[in-house]
Structure 1
């Protein structure tokens, strides 16, 4: 195995106090091994699975199956028919925070939605009256729309605007806003993919600044007593705990919620309830996740999204009355 870069060594020392864990983490990135695929059942799960299923973790929801290594769910006929959606198990981990939301959810707004996994997870877990999936990068829209169509996600709509537009147009409108933030993508290395420069301080700082802008805009959409889910697929603290600390300083009416299901994954870098999965856990390439609640109680119902206004922004919709 080639020698790890100084930047990777530096990150590993910040993440783990234990030398053994540092070495396991570096090994997982330098010598990546395949992870078991997983699927999200969009329709009722059959009693006998058509695919070989691993023993479930204590925290994954009923509608998720983690499959045996080597299974190719994307090639199964049920995939094409929209029975299930294929997603990385790290994404399941990140979206598990949604399960802590017990009240009725009217509007879910997914700010950085492509290819659609978190949107579909929220739709399946929370059954909102409206799911709005935004994707600002034009070339990623086709994949997002195709997945929502194939999985027959209704009611859903796709929009394509910067987060600042929605902050102005639809304040206090959504019971859950999801920010699966664009990041340096360091966990791609654990999947054997390339992420050039992902540990370089310039790339990390640029990414963290963009994340702060998106989370600040997204917070303005959250209704009183609503939720904001923030997650990344990267390891550097600047893009994770430090973004969250910056956010809470500027939006003190939000607070991070404890997710008892994920207690064993609590980040050691902060006392704030937030959770990390690492590739050496052998479940997935890695993720960071936190759920914030808007503690404001102004006695108002969430401001209804004016569908006539927002429908002018739709580039795809499946809303059956």
Structure 2
């Protein structure tokens, strides 16, 4: 394949005796990978369920190679959000960021969502995932992937990092920065990237990367972790960025990641010689079955004061208005504050359109929903109902694509549930369902938007809304009328007829 002469010269200088092996790797076929969505299915259940030719990706617990002939994007399980198609090396970054339920997590350059959806899966619906992309077109793909994967607690932004940093100072437990880069590690996968590459691209990207990282650090809590990655080989965008961080932000330190025999150490000699840079990881295609990647895990040091004060009570996270009343606050003041709070809540609900009639319509539908619902988090705006995440209250002047889970639309006296709502449910969490087997040809017809006869299938109710599933995993909605399933699968998600 074509490789720019200047690129070849640079890589020969970096790799020395390994250069010929590196070059030979471009003639080998690429590797195909998928990542199991553990928010919906365990790895063991997945292996027993799918008919694909799977081989474990040895450094990612929920990652697998598959054969091109498997065509996993044409299988109903793909539409059920049981897995995400992702390049094997690209899975590394999110797998090395230790995220747990209840944490506040940011993916700053998130589209199309491969890493963000894995972070969201690790939260298991608890805590907050803020996912951002500066590109309005790419953030649409991010939204769809977040919804397909069934991640309810997300706040999706289309902003520049500096604007986000103004609203979220020292806020996040974990941050992922998969920085826009020159893409050298993807030349084999995407030959067009090699054709448009130039010597000017890495330093141009490095300038942008420093600005993104600076904003990310300002949003990280003391004690929090940030992982930085690129899909390029360029030292300007890799070791030199991390060396700059260590010089300019002394509160940041590199920490080791879970290793793998194919990982290569970072190269201090390609930056300022700081031996700490060996803690970075380089993924070389001639050492591993994947494309080129660079990953660095960092932690923001805790101040001595933080050891005695929980982060939520630190002055970094609270204003005077948020502080608890002191002992000498009188009872009247507390009662007045509580009354004002109730009034503010009422006004907020009315402003959001949470009328009594709309609440009645919602409650009628939710009588069939067996999942736990916090009604204080439901908001209706112009007839559209949302389930809001916790932790983004009062965040203003941000361009957002979605705040929480879109539940559906209230149309006069009825509720039309959304595709996104179906994807966060389990089969047992809705009163009535139609469950196809993956081998049933009707499931493909459903995914293509057709009306299907289901008179031979059992369901909880003989008419009305049905949660349509494949082997117990939700796909979307349908309405049952006299044994016929009226298709409510979202038109923009439908399987192409001739695909």
Mapping of 1:234-253 within 5 angstroms?
234-253=232-251
In 2, Cα distance between the equivalents of 1:268 and 1:82? 35
Q: Normalising to structure 1: TM-score of the pair?
A: 0.88
SS at match of 2:30: coil
CA RMSD of aligned residues (A): 2.5
Query: How far apart are residue 228 of structure 1 and its match?
Result: 0.8
Residue 394 (structure 2) aligns with: 309
The answer on 1:23 being equivalent to 2:20 is yes
The answer on 1:294 being equivalent to 2:300 is yes
Task: Please identify the structure whose Cα radius of gyration is greater.
Answer: 2
Q: Normalising to structure 2: TM-score of the pair?
A: 0.58
Residue 60 (structure 2) aligns with: 60
Task: Specify whether residues 9 and 295 from structure 1 end up closer, same or farther in structure 2 by C-alpha distance, changes over 3 A only.
Answer: same
The answer on 1:120 being equivalent to 2:205 is no
In 2, Cα distance between the equivalents of 1:319 and 1:284? 34
Task: Specify whether residues 175 and 198 from structure 1 end up closer, same or farther in structure 2 by C-alpha distance, changes over 3 A only.
Answer: farther
Mapping of 1:99-248 within 5 angstroms?
99=98, 106-127=103-124, 129-196=127-194, 200-248=198-246
Task: Specify whether residues 197 and 269 from structure 1 end up closer, same or farther in structure 2 by C-alpha distance, changes over 3 A only.
Answer: farther
Deviates more, 1:105-114 or 1:307-316: 307-316
Query: How far apart are residue 311 of structure 1 and its match?
Result: 6.9
Structure 1 unaligned runs (5+)? none
Deviates more, 1:257-266 or 1:86-95: 257-266
Mapping of 1:242-281 within 5 angstroms?
242-262=240-260, 264-270=262-268, 271=275, 272=277, 273-281=279-287
In 2, Cα distance between the equivalents of 1:255 and 1:278? 24
1:199-249 alpha-carbon deviations (Å, 9 max, x no partner)? 533111100100011001111000010011100111111111111101111
1:284 corresponds to which of 261, 284, 290: 290
SS at match of 1:283: coil
In 1, Cα distance between the equivalents of 2:226 and 2:30? 32
Task: Specify whether residues 34 and 294 from structure 1 end up closer, same or farther in structure 2 by C-alpha distance, changes over 3 A only.
Answer: same
8 Å Cα contact 1:190/1:285 also seen in 2: yes
Residue 50 (structure 2) aligns with: 50
In 1, Cα distance between the equivalents of 2:51 and 2:102? 32
Residue 34 (structure 1) aligns with: 30
Query: How far apart are residue 130 of structure 1 and its match?
Result: 0.5
In 1, Cα distance between the equivalents of 2:117 and 2:51? 21
Task: Specify whether residues 81 and 125 from structure 1 end up closer, same or farther in structure 2 by C-alpha distance, changes over 3 A only.
Answer: same
1:70-104 alpha-carbon deviations (Å, 9 max, x no partner)? 332111111112222111111112222114x6x76
- In the alignment of these two chains, the number of paired residues is 314
1:141-186 alpha-carbon deviations (Å, 9 max, x no partner)? 1100011111111211201111111222211100011100000111
8 Å Cα contact 2:223/2:300 also seen in 1: yes
Query: How far apart are residue 197 of structure 1 and its match?
Result: 6.0
In 1, Cα distance between the equivalents of 2:107 and 2:188? 26
Structure 2 unaligned runs (5+)? 269-274, 319-389, 408-499
SS at match of 1:158: strand
Query: How far apart are residue 317 of structure 1 and its match?
Result: 2.9
Task: Specify whether residues 274 and 183 from structure 1 end up closer, same or farther in structure 2 by C-alpha distance, changes over 3 A only.
Answer: same
Query: How far apart are residue 34 of structure 1 and its match?
Result: 2.4
Task: Specify whether residues 105 and 229 from structure 1 end up closer, same or farther in structure 2 by C-alpha distance, changes over 3 A only.
Answer: farther
In 1, Cα distance between the equivalents of 2:90 and 2:97? 12
SS at match of 2:85: strand
8 Å Cα contact 1:32/1:192 also seen in 2: no
8 Å Cα contact 2:173/2:225 also seen in 1: yes
Relative contact order: is structure 1 or structure 2 higher (C-alpha 8 Å, sep ≥ 6)? 1
In 1, Cα distance between the equivalents of 2:247 and 2:177? 18
In 2, Cα distance between the equivalents of 1:44 and 1:250? 43
In 2, Cα distance between the equivalents of 1:238 and 1:8? 13
Task: Specify whether residues 199 and 312 from structure 1 end up closer, same or farther in structure 2 by C-alpha distance, changes over 3 A only.
Answer: closer
1:85-131 alpha-carbon deviations (Å, 9 max, x no partner)? 111111112222114x6x76520011000001111111223545000
In 1, Cα distance between the equivalents of 2:190 and 2:28? 5
SS at match of 2:193: coil
In 2, Cα distance between the equivalents of 1:292 and 1:186? 24
